[in-house]
């Protein structure tokens, strides 16, 4: 297994454009999380899925953000009408719901720059 992968690794877009990021979790992990991280801060929780069900969304996640996890495998995070404040690192993590340590495995992140 190659761990959690995210694509693209970097994305530069103009304000007002839509962007979509993809996360491929570890195959047997049923939980998938999205976080956002800005410079000098820790990751902030955005949303999580158990299998294909999206069970919680942070208040940080405005109506411009939407996430899906069809068939409980990979997930996509879409940001519509991007704003400069959306510039951040978007991290995906996966875990087992019954793990002994509840360890989350993080991907390398997608760095978004909105110009």
Partner 1 sequence: SQKIEQNSEALNIQEGKTATLTCNYTNYSPAYLQWYRQDPGRGPVFLLLIRENEKEKRKERLKVTFDTTLKQSLFHITASQPADSATYLCALLIYNQGGKLIFGQGTELSVKP
| Site of interaction with partner 1 (CB under 8 A) | 4, 31, 33, 35, 40-45, 48, 50, 55-56, 91, 93, 95, 97, 101-109
CB of 89 to partner 1, least distance (A): 9
Number of other CB atoms surrounding residue 79 within 10 Å = 23
Task: Between 82 and 94, name the residue whose CB sits nearer to partner 1.
Answer: 94
Residue 76: CB minimum distance to partner 1, A: 18
CB 95 within 8 A of CB 33: yes
Burial class (CB in 10 A: 0-12, 13-18, 19+), 1: exposed
Task: Provide, rounded to whole angstroms, the least separation between the CB of residue 6 and partner 1.
Answer: 8
- Residue 33 to residue 93: CA distance in whole angstroms: 5
Within a 10 A sphere around the Cβ of 73, how many other Cβ atoms? Answer: 12
Q: Which is nearer to partner 1, 76 or 80 (CB)?
A: 76
Nearer to partner 1 among residue 68 and residue 103 (C-beta): 103
């Amino acid at each position: 297994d190659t761990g959690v992968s995210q694509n693209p690794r970097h994305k530069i877009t103009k304000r007002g454009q839509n962007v979509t990021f993809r996360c491929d979790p570890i195959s047997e992990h049923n939980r998938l999380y999205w976080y956002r991280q800005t410079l000098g801060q820790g990751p902030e929780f955005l949303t999580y899925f158990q299998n294909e069900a999206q069970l919680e969304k942070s208040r940080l996640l405005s109506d411009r953000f939407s996430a899906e996890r069809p068939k409980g495998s990979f997930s996509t995070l879409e940001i519509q009408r991007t704003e400069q404040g959306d510039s951040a690192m978007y991290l995906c993590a996966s875990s087992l719901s019954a793990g002994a340590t509840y360890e989350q495995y993080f991907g390398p992140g997608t760095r978004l720059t909105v110009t």
